[in-house]
């Protein structure tokens, strides 16, 4: 097919050399914008060919596909073709390649994979020989007139090669075009007219200059010839192209001839899931049926209950019909592998997969659909023309073992992780655009520091004013405009958090594969949205810190004879004492319910049974909050208002809503309920309900759910429900567009809520030790976790050279209870190998720093870190004397002293060092271990604050409701959930914490103080709820960070920021890959210009 004679020419023109912003800092327009502009200009088609990449082609294809549904007449006769612009490392001029067929696509993706896997992440090293080895069924466009190259390519691909001809308005266009025509005649390679487009419209040329400067690391003023000479590299009308190539009409005709030659479309990609091996004598479906039936009989006994038989029959029938048997066997194999390791790797499935009894019986999930009325069609159904999605969480410290097992089993030719597209966000955009425009770092940093978090779609003009910039200044206006244009553009590719794509055949013949930055990881070029659009099946191998924490807690309990537990479905979740702890809001460190919002909700919801935890997990989310579901649910639950179920008109069943909303008092809290409500009350078909599910599942996909308003409200009214009730129902469902939980997902998470709560309640020392040893994870920094443990009666012992190991550990006290010993891992900069050397050499206690250095063979840096961390007290040394001795010890031991086993340093007179002041002890503790067992820096400022009438946290807690007070503390957390109507701030002092609520209208007034403060003063009204939850409703915020400089020490108080702080440690929306560093590299009191 690829060598066939060109078909008859068509009239018109197609641009076949077009780059998008998925050429990463080379193209300036989104793929959808390029397609839309080509359509608007009346082209016959467009070819998307990005630089050594096909990362953006699915975006273009999806846009055109959606447009065909909405406006079929607009796209009639229009063609999108996809390929790549090959850029070579050996000096070969660029060549654009388009696959003619599915086979050609496979050759192109293998070619790109070859270059990618030779290079480090982000690069592609190709040679001409690679193309010659992979050029089957490829149509090639040579971008430069190199005669030798043309003859080489023509010998391999006769009748499948063109020579690009451009009119770049360079002043020598006519002469150059004539030379290309002579070369074409000499080689027999036809000319192809193109504008080599880098952006869709003429107006995007300045943006292209900006991204060029960003790529080259220069400024617009200094870029010179690095920038294009003019703004001609946009999509031009067919008429304009014909005018430009008036003397070369065949070059115009060649574009439609080539377009007609390309038979490949992305929908031709037929995905085949790996054929999982099954035991001899078995076929796949009977084997799956056998596994499930055996597990069902073990759990439910025989004969199976009717509900179980029906659920199994329905699910297995659908699994067989949709050909998902292998998929279920894969996930079963991963879970089996994890649990077969020694020690076993804790794992648990979640998400919509928890709706499935097959997943439950295979051991993938822990939610029994027999006990809970879950909606299997939320997971998979005949109407859903998309694959199932099973998420499995593994211990975050051991997930890599499972990942490497996948690579080993399927090989890297058949397995890789999905991509995540890293986009430009406000802070990075401001900095990079500002640098390209020549602004100094202090100006861009000041403006970037006014952006809340790292996520957003715009930088309002108000931020310019707040940063002290004049928004009407021409240069500032340019900065603001380009930042707006570049926001949300793709910056580069990274790897997904754990979504694997597996194939029966070669994966690199489906999509190019890259090396990841992490060792032994490879990923493909397409992200989750691309995979979903093409119907590829993804297995999510995710990491969950709480599973690591629970496993470590179970290990500690076994070690100290506190029971032998595993994370099994048989654990009862009905202990009233555990629920009593949660009802008090005592949940710091507990999975999913440790945020300030969750802690405040617990006393209001007062969970008593497991299903209450399911609700608790789901209710503090943007969806239920914005859908006005929280307060109606709480009022009805607390019997403050009647539970009403409006009835439809006859002949519809009057109690049809009871089964849908009965467990949540008539308020829809879960996505499954919204789907059931639509089907039952509004006569949605299963296909329409699935469309509603997709709209709800798309985080912040503004306007998607709105498409169902008329159908939902109209359907309910036609069945006899009131207009008001129908609109309220839709408003509640509409809230899910800002992220609501599926019930099955909440069920899975609720089990971990209970298990972690049970450990915290009955074994607080074990829980504190486990969670500290599992860092980084969770919501809080180690300082807050240690403080909480001490408040629960746990004795916490300091790091010590004669007692500590690398990990935090437990020690028996005289009364038989357990104390928590901090480990060397808490010492900033200390290495695990040094800790192992200390433990190995500690057969008898160390008596001096010199002895410690000699026996454990520690370097000088390790000794100084230990002394600085006050870890030498068991040797009778305070911090200063220990540091003095550490500095006296020389590196290594002289042979004579080593042979004699004698100390090298002689005794010296007491240096009579002054005692270390307590304030310096505390500050140095925070500097070295990020926490202090000796005190809190606020205690040393209390007298001055007291003179000002500023209350402590303890005094605020005792204040009357409605009292106007002032309080101050170090900033732990700043959050702005949902639509940002309120900002929640948590301050800490020596007596506890104060929860501050600042309304958005006041936030703009005090933005810089809120975002820059390390030490904050807040003034406002004490608000005490009937459940005892206390907030300070702030009306004024003052940055008092300067007071930290009065503590009289050269040690700066700069401990860990809580991981939930959205100013210093931004939290991305769900579905985006988080780029977090280790929390010990982040400080609790952020510097005003150091937000990351």
Q: Where are the domains of the chain?
A: 14-200+235-266, 284-414+497-546, 422-494, 571-751, 795-896+915-929, 937-1081
Q: Does residue 853 surpass a pLDDT of 90?
A: yes
CB 129: neighbour CB atoms within 10 A? Answer: 11
The whole-angstrom separation of Cα 574 and Cα 565 is: 16
Element (H, E) at 406: helix 399-410
pLDDT tens-digit map of 135-151? 999 999 999 989 999 99
Q: Which residues lie closer than 8 Å to 5 by C-beta, 6 or more apart?
A: 159
Q: In angstroms, rounded to a whole number, what is the distance separating the alpha carbons of residues 276 and 283? A: 10
Contacts of 167 (CB under 8 A, 6+ apart): 173, 177, 195, 232, 244, 245
CATH 3.40.50.300 fits 937-1081, yes or no: no
Q: In this predicted model, what pLDDT tens digit does every residue of 385-430 receive, in sequence order?
A: 566 778 899 999 999 999 999 999 999 999 999 999 999 988 889 9
How far apart CA 465 and CA 478 sit, in angstroms, is: 15
The predicted pLDDT at position 1091 comes to 24
pLDDT digits (tens, 9 = 90+) for 948-970: 999 999 999 999 999 999 999 99
Cα separation, 2 vs 136, in Å, equals 8
Query: pLDDT at position 374, please?
Result: 58
Cα–Cα distance measured from residue 345 to residue 402, given in angstroms and rounded to the nearest whole number: 9
* Alpha-carbon torsion, ordered 969, 975, 976, 978, to 10 deg: -140
Domain 422-494 in the same topology as domain 14-200+235-266: no
Q: How far is CA 648 from CA 645, 654, 657, 673, 717, in A?
A: 10, 6, 9, 18, 9
Mark out the alpha helices in 918-1065 (DSSP H runs).
Answer: 918-929, 942-947, 953-958, 1000-1003, 1007-1012
Highest mean pLDDT among 535-549, 718-732, 787-801: 787-801
Contact 218, 227 (CB under 8 A): no
pLDDT over 60 (residue 444): yes
CB 52 within 8 A of CB 87: yes
Tens-place pLDDT, residues 286-342:
999 999 999 999 998 889 999 899 889 988 998 898 888 999 999 999 999 999 999
Q: What is the CATH number of domain 422-494?
A: 1.10.10.1600
pLDDT digits (tens, 9 = 90+) for 535-573: 888 889 999 999 999 999 999 999 999 988 887 654 578
Coil, helix or strand at residue 95:
strand
Cα-only R_g, the chain: 33
Q: Are 897 and 903 in contact (CB under 8 A)?
A: yes
Instruction: Report CA-CA distances (Å) from 844 to 409, 801, 840.
Output: 47, 11, 10
pLDDT for position 617: 92
Query: Rounded to an integer, what distance in angstroms lies between the CA atom of residue 137 and that of residue 3?
Result: 8
Cβ proximity of 1063 and 1086 under 8 Å: yes
> Cα 435 to the chain's mean position, in Å?
27
Report CA-CA distances (Å) from 1049 to 829, 866, 919.
Answer: 22, 20, 8
* Tokens encoding 601: 């909700």
By mean pLDDT, which of 452-456, 851-855, 874-878 is the weakest? 452-456
Give the model confidence (pLDDT) of 409-419 as tens digits: 999 999 999 99
Contacts within 8 Å (CB) and 24+ apart, 120-127: 120/515, 120/517, 121/514, 121/515, 121/516, 121/517, 122/492, 122/493, 124/52, 124/53, 124/87, 125/89, 126/52, 126/86, 126/87, 126/88, 126/89, 127/88, 127/89, 127/90, 127/92
Half-sphere exposure of 222 (CA within 13 A, CB side): 11
Q: Would you say 400 and 507 are in contact if contact means Cβ atoms under 8 Å apart?
A: no
How would you list the strands of the sheet with 809-812, edge to edge?
A: 796-797, 818-821, 809-812
Residue with the two structure tokens 């592609």: 124
| φ, ψ of residue 419 in degrees (nearest 5) | -90, 160
> What pLDDT, on the 0 to 100 scale, is given for residue 1080?
31
Q: Which numeric CATH code is attached to 14-200+235-266?
A: 3.20.20.140
Q: Is the pLDDT of residue 1047 over 90?
A: no
pLDDT in tens, 634-671: 999 988 899 988 888 888 888 888 888 888 998 888 87
Task: Tell me the average pLDDT across 1030-1051.
Answer: 85
The secondary structure of 858-918 as a DSSP string is --HHHHHHHHHTT--GGGT--HHHHHHHHHHSPSS--HHHHHHT--SSPP-----PPPPPH
Using CA atoms, how far apart are residues 484 and 457, in angstroms rounded to an integer?
8
Helix (H) or strand (E) holding 434: helix 426-436
> Which pLDDT tens digit goes with each residue over 49-108?
999 999 999 999 999 999 998 898 889 999 999 999 999 999 999 999 999 999 999 999
Q: Which two tokens stand for residue 592?
A: 């999913």
* Pairing, β 415-423 against β 490-502: antiparallel
Which helix (H) or strand (E) is 526 found in, with range?
A: strand 522-527
* Residue 2 pLDDT exceeds 50: no
3-class state of residue 515 by DSSP: strand
List the one residue out of 1030, 1025, 977 whose CA is nearest residue 625: 977
Rounded CA-CA distance 817/884 in Å is: 37
Strand extents, DSSP E, 958-1089? 964-975, 982-989, 992-999, 1015-1024, 1030-1039
Q: Using CA atoms, how far apart are residues 242 and 232, in angstroms rounded to an integer?
A: 15
Nearest to 143 by CA among 117, 116, 168, 163: 163
Mean pLDDT of the region 1066-1088: 36
- Judge whether 138 and 2 are in contact, CB under 8 Å: yes
Alpha-carbon gap, residue 874 to 713, rounded angstroms = 73
Gap between the Cα atoms of 565 and 755, Å rounded:
10
Mean of all residue pLDDT scores within the chain? 87
pLDDT at 898 over 60: no
Tens of pLDDT, residues 174-195: 899 999 999 999 999 999 999 9
The DSSP code sequence of 342-381 is SSPPPEEEEGGGGG-HHHHHTTS----TTTS---GGGT--
pLDDT of residue 766: 97
Three-class DSSP category at 751: helix
- What DSSP line would sit under 42-86, residue for residue? T-SEEEEEEETB-TTHHHHHHHHHHHHHH-TTTSTT-EEEEEEEE
Looking at residue 578, the DSSP 8-state letter turns out to be H
Non-local (6+) Cβ contacts of 1061 within 8 A are 971, 972, 973, 974, 975, 1086
Write the CB contacts of 991 (distance below 8 Å, at least 6 apart in sequence): 952, 953, 954, 955
Of residues 568, 569, 778, 575, the one with CA closest to residue 770: 778
pLDDT per residue as tens digits for the range 279-302: 999 999 999 999 999 999 999 888
Cα-flanking dihedrals φ and ψ of residue 1053, to 5°?
-75, 110
Closest CA to 748 of 591, 598, 861: 591
Q: Which sign does the torsion angle of CA 1040, 1042, 1044, 1047 carry?
A: negative
- The residue-averaged pLDDT of 669-688 equals 82
| Listed residue (82, 81, 88) closest to 149, CA to CA | 88
Q: Which of 164-168, 246-250, 491-495, 734-738 has the lowest mean pLDDT?
A: 734-738
Helices 610-619 and 576-583, axial angle in degrees (round to 10): 30
Is 1034 in contact with 1002 (CB distance < 8 Å)? yes
Residue 798 structure tokens: 């300091």
Report the SS3 class of residue 951: strand
Residue 1079 has pLDDT above 80, yes or no: no
> How far apart, in Å, are the Cα atoms of 345 and each of 420, 766, 821?
26, 19, 26
């Amino acid at each position: 097919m690829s060598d066939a004679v060109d078909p008859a020419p068509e009239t018109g023109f197609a641009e076949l050399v077009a780059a998008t912003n998925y050429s990463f800092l080379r193209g300036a327009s989104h793929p959808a914008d390029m397609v839309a502009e080509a359509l608007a200009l009346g082209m016959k088609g467009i070819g998307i060919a990005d630089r050594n990449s096909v990362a953006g082609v699915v975006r273009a294809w999806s846009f055109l596909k959606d447009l065909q549904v909405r406006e079929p007449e607009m796209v009639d006769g229009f063609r999108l073709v996809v390929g790549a612009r090959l850029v070579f490392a050996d000096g070969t001029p660029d060549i654009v390649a388009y696959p003619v067929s599915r086979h050609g696509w496979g050759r192109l993706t293998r070619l790109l994979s070859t270059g990618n896997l030779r290079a480090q992440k982000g690069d592609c090293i190709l040679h001409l020989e690679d193309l010659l080895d992979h050029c089957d069924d490829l149509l090639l466009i040579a971008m430069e007139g190199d005669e030798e190259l043309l003859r080489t390519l023509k010998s391999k691909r006769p009748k499948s090669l063109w020579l690009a001809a451009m009119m770049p308005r360079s002043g020598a266009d006519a002469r150059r075009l004539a030379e290309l025509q002579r070369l074409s005649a000499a080689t027999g390679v036809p000319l192809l007219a193109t504008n080599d487009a880098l952006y869709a419209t003429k107006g995007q040329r300045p943006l292209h200059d900006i991204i060029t400067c960003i790529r080259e690391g220069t400024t617009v003023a200094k870029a010179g010839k690095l920038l294009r000479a003019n703004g001609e590299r946009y999509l031009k009308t067919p008429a304009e192209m014909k005018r430009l190539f008036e003397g070369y009409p065949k070059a115009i005709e060649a574009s439609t001839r080539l377009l007609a030659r390309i038979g490949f479309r992305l929908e031709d990609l037929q995905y085949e899931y790996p054929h999982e091996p099954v035991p001899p004598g078995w076929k796949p479906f009977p084997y799956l049926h056998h596994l499930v039936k055996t597990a069902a009989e073990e759990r439910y006994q025989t004969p199976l209950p009717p509900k179980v038989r029906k659920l199994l029959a329905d699910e297995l029938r659908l699994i067989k019909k949709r050909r998902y048997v292998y998929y279920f066997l894969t996930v079963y194999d991963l879970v089996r592998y994890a649990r077969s390791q020694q020690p076993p790797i804790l794992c648990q499935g979640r998400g919509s997969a928890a709706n499935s009894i097959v997943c439950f019986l295979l051991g993938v999930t822990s939610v029994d659909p027999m006990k809970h009325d879950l909606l299997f069609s939320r997971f998979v159904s005949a109407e859903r023309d998309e694959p199932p999605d099973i998420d499995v969480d593994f211990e975050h410290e051991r997930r890599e073992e499972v990942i490497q097992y996948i690579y080993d089993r399927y090989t890297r030719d058949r397995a890789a992780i999905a991509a995540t597209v890293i986009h430009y966000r406000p802070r990075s955009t401001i900095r990079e655009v500002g640098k390209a425009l020549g602004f100094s770092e202090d100006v861009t940093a000041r403006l970037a520091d006014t952006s809340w978090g790292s996520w957003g779609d715009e930088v309002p003009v108000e931020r310019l004013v707040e940063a002290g910039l004049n928004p009407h200044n021409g240069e500032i206006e340019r900065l603001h405009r380009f930042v707006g244009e570049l926001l949300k553009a793709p910056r580069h590719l990274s790897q997904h958090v754990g979504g694997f794509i597996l194939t029966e055949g070669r994966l690199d013949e489906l999509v190019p594969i890259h090396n990841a930055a992490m060792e032994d990881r490879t990923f493909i070029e397409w992200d989750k949205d691309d995979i979903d659009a093409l119907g590829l099946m993804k297995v999510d191998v995710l990491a969950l810190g709480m599973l690591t924490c629970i496993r470590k807690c179970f290990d500690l309990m076994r070690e100290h004879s506190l029971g032998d537990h595993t994370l099994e479905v048989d654990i009862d979740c009905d202990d009233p004492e555990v629920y009593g702890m949660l009802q008090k809001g005592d949940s710091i460190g507990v999975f999913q319910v440790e945020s300030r919002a969750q802690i405040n909700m617990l006393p209001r919801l007062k969970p008593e049974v497991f299903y209450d935890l399911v609700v608790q997990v789901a209710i503090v989310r943007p969806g239920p909050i914005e859908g006005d579901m929280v307060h109606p649910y709480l009022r009805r639950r607390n019997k403050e208002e009647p539970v009403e179920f409006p009835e439809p008109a006859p002949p519809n069943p009057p109690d049809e809503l009871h089964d849908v909303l009965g467990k949540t008092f008539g308020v829809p809290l879960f996505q499954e309920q919204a789907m059931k409500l639509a089907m039952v009350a509004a006569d949605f078909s299963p296909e329409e309900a699935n469309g509603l599910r997709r709209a709800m599942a798309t985080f912040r996909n503004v306007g998607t759910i709105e498409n169902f308003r008329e159908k939902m409200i109209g359907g309910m009214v036609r069945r006899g429900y009131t207009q008001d009730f129908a609109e309220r129902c839709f408003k509640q469902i509409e809230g899910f567009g800002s992220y609501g939980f599926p019930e099955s997902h909440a069920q899975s998470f609720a089990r971990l809520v209970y298990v972690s709560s049970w450990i915290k309640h009955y074994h607080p020392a074990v829980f504190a030790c486990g969670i500290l040893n599992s860092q980084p994870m969770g919501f809080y920094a180690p300082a807050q976790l240690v403080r909480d443990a001490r408040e629960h009666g746990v004795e916490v012992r300091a790091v010590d050279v004669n007692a500590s190991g690398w990990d935090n550990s437990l020690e028996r006290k005289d009364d038989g209870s357990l104390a928590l010993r901090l480990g060397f891992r808490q010492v900033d900069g200390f290495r695990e190998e040094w800790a192992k050397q200390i433990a190995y050499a500690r057969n008898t206690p160390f008596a001096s720093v010199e002895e410690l250095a000699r026996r454990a063979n520690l370097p000088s840096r390790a000794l100084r870190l230990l002394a600085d961390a006050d870890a030498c007290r068991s040797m009778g040394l305070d911090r200063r004397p220990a540091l003095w001795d550490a500095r006296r010890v020389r590196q290594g031991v002289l042979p004579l002293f080593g042979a004699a086993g004698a100390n090298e340093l002689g005794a010296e007179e007491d240096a009579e060092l002054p005692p270390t002041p307590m304030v310096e002890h505390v500050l140095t503790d925070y500097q070295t271990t990020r926490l202090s067992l000796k005190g809190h820096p606020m205690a040393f400022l209390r007298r001055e604050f007291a003179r000002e009438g500023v209350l402590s946290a303890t005094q605020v807690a005792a204040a009357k409701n409605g009292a106007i007070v002032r309080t101050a503390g170090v900033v732990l957390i700043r959050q702005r959930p949902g639509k940002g109507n309120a900002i929640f701030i948590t301050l800490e002092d020596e007596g506890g914490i104060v929860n501050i609520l600042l309304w958005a209208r006041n936030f703009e007034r005090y933005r810089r103080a809120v975002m820059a403060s390390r030490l904050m003063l807040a003034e406002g009204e004490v608000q005490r709820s009937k459940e005892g939850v206390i907030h300070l409703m702030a009306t004024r915020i003052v940055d008092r960070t300067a007071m930290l400089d009065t503590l009289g020490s050269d040690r700066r108080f700069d401990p860990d920021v809580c991981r939930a702080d959205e100013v210093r440690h931004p939290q991305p929306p769900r579905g985006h890959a988080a780029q977090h560093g280790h929390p010990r590299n982040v400080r609790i009191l952020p510097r005003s210009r150091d937000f990351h």
